[in-house]
Amino acid sequence: MAQLEARNLHTSYGLSRVLFGVSFEVEQGSCIALIGRNGVGKTTTMRSLIGLTPPSEGEVVWEGRQIAGLAPHTVAKLGIGFVPEDRRIFPELTVWENLDIARRPAEPGRQAWGEDEVFDLFPDLKDIQSRAGGVLSGGQQQMLTIARSLMGNPRLLLLDEPSEGLAPRVVETLRERVRTLKESGLSIVLAEQNLGFVLALSDMCHIMEKGEIVYSGTPDHLRENRDVLDRHLTL
């Protein structure tokens, strides 16, 4: 059984419907990617999973349990970490405090994330741990947001456009960090527009258009069928 299953998600913001029956599965330890242009529903899919915008129809099954409609903090405690697109750190809190508020013990018998482990993964953060979150660079904020979700010891990470607005070299570093995370056994759902990022990391890609998944395939398959990409992703 898949670790996370989205079944036929329909989500709307008030009267405007955004998702029209999105379904996919995430196997334990794998990375799946949601690809698509702006406004196709990638972020909304993530918000539906974490509970910020509960789906009006459909199910989210997490480790065998139906979690659609639960409050975000409950979903977070069940082991799903969310790294939103706009790098939502707490600007008034220091780097260390940003990490501290998200601290939650790991399940017994699993590798636990604490500040030491987090600083091993993101050494840059260690040197600036007493600095206020608001003065960090974009790349540092992105690292901090990911680090913060790790402090909650999630078993699955939702990464919403992690590479957006970052310099190419920072994106490269970030990609290696995410790869390390994946290799440590963390499952990842990645929403991205940066194809290089997606193809390098994911095991399965879902292309979204107008609130639906219109194509699913492995990165290899996508590489061989550039016409699919051209059709769905170029403007």
Partner 1 sequence: MTGRMTRPVLAACLTVLVLLALVPLLESNYLIDLFNEIMIYALFALSLNVIIGYSGNVSFGHAAYFAIGGYTMAILLTTYEWSLLPAFAAAVAFSFACSAVVAYFCTRLTDIYFAMLTLAFSMLVWGVAFKWRSMTGGDDGFVGVDVPAFIAERVPFYYFSLVVIATAVAVLWVICHSAFGRALLAVRENPVRAGFVGINTRLMRWWAFVVAGTFAGIAGSLFAMVHRGMYTESAFWPESATVLIMTLLGGMYSFFGPAIGAASLFLLERLTNEYTEYWPLVLGTILLAILMFLPEGLAGLAQAVRRQILRGR
- Residues in contact with partner 1 by the rule CB under 8 A: 50-52, 71-77, 82, 84, 88, 90-94, 97, 100-104, 148-149, 152
Least Å distance, CB 103 to partner 1, is 8
Nearer to partner 1, 105 or 185 (CB): 105
SS (H, E, C) 25-48: EECCCCEEEEECCCCCCHHHHHHH
Nearer to partner 1, 83 or 198 (CB): 83
Nearer to partner 1, 88 or 210 (CB): 88
DSSP string, 163-227: TTT--HHHHHHHHHHHHHHHHTT-EEEEEES-HHHHHHH-SEEEEEETTEEEEEE-HHHHHH-HH
Least Å distance, CB 91 to partner 1, is 7
Instruction: Tell me how far CA of residue 174 lies from CA of 11, 160, 181, in angstroms.
Output: 30, 13, 11
Nearer to partner 1, 89 or 213 (CB): 89
Least Å distance, CB 122 to partner 1, is 17
Least Å distance, CB 172 to partner 1, is 27
